[in-house]
Amino acid sequence: MKILIAYRSRYGCTRRYAELLAGKLAGEVTVADLRREGRLSPAAFDLVLLGSPIYAGAVPAGVTRFCQRHRSALLRVPVGLFICCLYEGEKARAQLDSAYPDWLSLHAFGRWTLGGEIRPDSLRFFDRLLVRALVQGVGELSRFRPEDLQDILRRVGQLPS
């Protein structure tokens, strides 16, 4: 099975999840950073996992562009969607619900929220300002949990090959 794991990541957390997933999935796995490979077509794959961080409540515009550009190809294969964020519970779920276009969320065989991470020292200037308000709401700055990937791996394993 040819699997595409496509992601965006500014600070590396979503990339780490993507790479961990790639290491655990059986098949021919391609990991693609959409910042560099947004034109890569999902049409050549049997399964697509699409992952994105949440910044100020939304996914980066490049993720939405990727979805629109490849709409018909995405609708032809099983797609799993995940976001990487610091909010948990209801707030995280609400962010997941609005992260991807409705047509893609409805098509997806699974959707997940994975715990994000902020390292204050690494933040760009404007991000630092944005994050101040967020930090008061979330408390903890590292929710990177590789074990969050178990359910994705389980669901992918249940798909017909």
Ligand X SMILES: Cc1cc2nc3c(=O)[nH]c(=O)nc-3n(C[C@H](O)[C@H](O)[C@H](O)COP(=O)(O)O)c2cc1C
Residue 82 sits in the site that holds ligand X (CB under 6 A)? no
- Return the range that interacts with ligand X (CB under 6 A); candidates 28-36, 54-62, 69-77, 97-105: 54-62
Does the protein bind ligand X through residue 32 (CB under 6 A)? Answer: no
CB of 85 to ligand X, least distance (A): 3
Ordered DSSP codes for 100-153: S-HHHHHH-SEEEEEE-B--GGG--HHHHHHHHHHHHHH--SB---GGGGHHHH
Number of residues that bind ligand X (CB under 6 A): 25
Choice between 139 and 160, CB closer to ligand X: 139
- Cβ contacts of residue 83 below 8 Å, gap of 6+? 51, 52, 53, 54, 59, 92, 95, 96, 99, 112, 113, 114
Binding region for ligand X (CB under 6 A): 9-15, 53-57, 84-87, 95, 116-118, 123, 127, 130-131, 134
